[in-house]
Amino acid sequence: MRAGLAAAVVVALVTGAHAEPWLEAIRSRGVLRVGVKVDAPPFGSLDVAGRPVGFEVDLARFFARVLFDDDHRAALVPVTTATRFDALQAGRVDLLMATVTATDERGRRLELSAPYFMAASLVLARKGSGVRGLSDLAARPVAVVRDSVQWQDVAELQPRALLRRVGSVEEGVGAVRRGWADAFVYDDVVLLSLTRDDPALEVVGAPLVPRAYVVAARPQDAGLIRWVNGWLARMRRDGSYDELWRRHFGPFEARLVGG
């Protein structure tokens, strides 16, 4: 993005009768604080140098570049499925871009953006375990991340499964590796990414319950979400969204339900 365009956007926002409260707070702080995951590639993870990388990390940096003409002004705050909403409600982050699935309940207590990714769940199992999908998991231990939508989905779709609650994606994958669980159910592209280099594990079954990923903000920051929606729409129009999607999800495209 050209520096002139970024500057024009900011000037237009602050020279109205009253600047948006969210904009005043972010500009006075000098950074856009975004909660991202570092255990959910390709959405968010750490590279060999310990730096955050991934699709949602790139989105966060894009929005910082729009606001400040400097993508280093994105303060990336690591969160997990269990901690992300606490971080948002406590005001430690301005936005969550952390594989947040849109649900009616979340929409009632938070401001949610338009979708930026469509995800479904898949089943992770050890090769040779005989698990080919949820139908094989009656009376068998299944790991699910605490407070994730998969907890509810597995309970409804396979009520005979023995649910094992874990705190993170890493713990869920580890539970399968160690045999503490016969399967781990989580978002499709995360599992597909994690198993590319692990010959002992496989992703099985058909996609379960497709849902949209969205950016989340606190209820008082509706203006911030409207701004996010405007730029998401612009990214889709100018092709930059498709470029970003292919960069991170191209290898898994055949197994995904959509962008």
Residues 6 or more apart whose CB falls under 8 angstroms from that of 255 comprise 122, 188, 192, 203, 207
Q: What is the pLDDT of residue 66?
A: 95
Q: What is the mean pLDDT of the chain?
A: 90
How many degrees, rounded to 5, is the angle at CA 40 between CA 236 and CA 207?
70
Q: Which two tokens stand for residue 35?
A: 């909660």
List phi, psi (to 5°) of 19. Answer: -70, 150
Q: What is the model's pLDDT at position 259?
A: 52
DSSP 139: T
The domains of the chain, with CATH numbers, are 3-116+214-255 (3.40.190.10), 120-211 (3.40.190.10)
pLDDT for residue 254: 79
Q: Using CA atoms, how far apart are residues 13 and 148, in angstroms rounded to an integer?
A: 36
Which residues partner with 121 through β-bridges?
187, 208
Instruction: Record the tokens describing residue 177, joined without a space.
Output: 């590796």
pLDDT at 253: 82
The two tokens of residue 85 are 């909403």
Tell me the two tokens of residue 128. 């040779």
DSSP 83-130: THHHHHHTTS-SEE-S--B--HHHHHHSEE---SEEEEEEEEEETTS-
Burial of 247 by CB count in 10 Å (0-12 exposed, 13-18 middle, 19+ buried)?
exposed
Q: Which residues of the chain have pLDDT under 70?
A: 1-19, 258-259
Alpha-carbon Rg for the chain, nearest whole angstrom, is 19
Q: H or E segment at 68?
A: helix 55-68
